[in-house]
Amino acid sequence: MSEIAAPRSSSRSRSLKGGGRNRSGQTNFELYSWLFMRLSGLALVVLVLGHLFVNLMLGGGITALDFGFVAGKWANPLWQVWDLLMLWLAMLHGTNGLRTIINDYAEKDQTRFWLKALLITAAIVIVVLGTLVIFTFDPCLDPSSTLSVCK
């Protein structure tokens, strides 16, 4: 596409366009983002509070947490899926929430850009790392494991 030099629009209005926050209806991104925060929030109530209940309230609570505890949980596909969903939804919800906060407080385009670049980089690293950990976990790293797969 050939570019025609834009009239001197302020840098601010350009950044608003880039962030999909214009009112002239070019995208519905902010609407979907608003809806996503609410839907993911509902799912996270179950996922996060369930996670806290099982890990901190049942059994020995925090004193029982160790490699064997994790191995026991991830031997069950339900907990693998649970943790995977929780990881993805919490990271998307949290990252999107921080994007809003950056838009609210960072005034300069440059500051916004770099803060968002940092945010997205951190989010991608954490989501990829966490996903790999859930799927490549090897319970038999523990030589004293009593799980049947390790015998």
Partner 1 sequence: MPSKPAGTLYRGREGMWSWVAHRITGVGIFLFLLVHVLDTALVRVSPEAYNEVIGTYKNPIVGLLEVGLVAAILFHAFNGIRLILVDFWAKGPRYQRQLMIGVGVIWVVLFVPFVIRHLTHVFGG
List residues near ligand HEM by CB under 6 A. Answer: 34, 37-38, 41, 44-45, 48, 90, 93-94, 97-98, 100-101
| CB proximity list for 121: less than 8 A, separation 6 or greater | none
Q: Are 94 and 44 in contact (CB under 8 A)?
A: no
Distance of closest approach, residue 60 Cβ to partner 1, in angstroms: 7
Closer to ligand HEM by Cβ: residue 52 or 81: 52
Q: Are 43 and 91 in contact (CB under 8 A)?
A: no
Instruction: Report the residue closest to ligand HEM, judged by CB.
Output: 97
Q: Are 93 and 41 in contact (CB under 8 A)?
A: yes
Closer to partner 1 by Cβ: residue 4 or 23: 23
Containing 91, the helix (H) or strand (E) segment is helix 77-105
Closer to ligand HEM by Cβ: residue 30 or 142: 30
CB-side neighbour CA atoms (13 Å) of 45: 5
76 binds, among partner 1, ligand HEM, none (CB under 5 to 8 A by kind): none
Closer to partner 1 by Cβ: residue 20 or 97: 97
| CB proximity list for 94: less than 8 A, separation 6 or greater | 123
Give me the residues that bind partner 1 (CB under 8 A), please. 12, 38, 41-42, 44-45, 48-49, 52, 56-57, 60-63, 65-68, 70-71, 87, 90-91, 94-95, 97-98, 101, 104-105, 107, 122, 126, 129-130, 132-133, 136-138, 141-142
**Nearest Cα to 96, choosing from 12, 20, 11, 24?**
20
